[in-house]
Amino acid sequence: MIPIADDSTSDPLNRRNFARSLAATAAATAAATAAATAAATAATTLDTNADDADTGKKTPPPKKKPTPDPEPPPPAALLLETVRQLYPHKQLDSKDVLQGVYSELKSDLARSRRLSQFPLKNSDEPGFLFAAFQSPR
């Protein structure tokens, strides 16, 4: 029988402490972001008010046109780049090989989407047929 070690003595950072530190880090990051945004807004407001005081007119803050986000690359292209980075090989520098891998990834993703759309019940099980192999004697 293997004795179970107490988490608090064997590991100085147990799961609870890790979760607490993670939550504290997330809260601190959110607070810092909010503070930076508020400071930037206040600085812009002060600059605008200083200009208004000099001229005596109220000028609206300049409106920036929102730039549309560039369209993200297709998932197959992201997977292809991941494959290239994880498994560097000279053959992956060839356009023909890359095109073949890309088309395989696209077909795999399409097949995955189609299979995911098929509704399954909780009682559905895989249909395995098992037969033991008997070698001829």
Instruction: Return the structure tokens found at 74.
Output: 């297709």
Instruction: Return the structure tokens found at 13.
Output: 């950072």
Three-class DSSP category at 75: helix
Question: Count of alpha carbons within 13 Å of 2, Cβ hemisphere only?
Answer: 3
pLDDT at position 7: 46
Cα→Cα distances 99→13, 53, 104, Å: 47, 63, 9
- For residues 108 and 80, is the Cβ–Cβ distance under 8 A? no
pLDDT tens digits along 15-39: 777 777 778 888 778 777 777 777 7
pLDDT tens digits along 88-119: 888 888 899 999 999 999 999 999 999 999 88
Query: Please, which residues have CB within 8 angstroms of residue 21's CB and are 6 or more apart in sequence?
Result: 13
Residue 73 has φ and ψ, to the nearest 5°, of -70, 155
Rounded-to-integer distance, Cα 124 and Cα 112, Å: 18
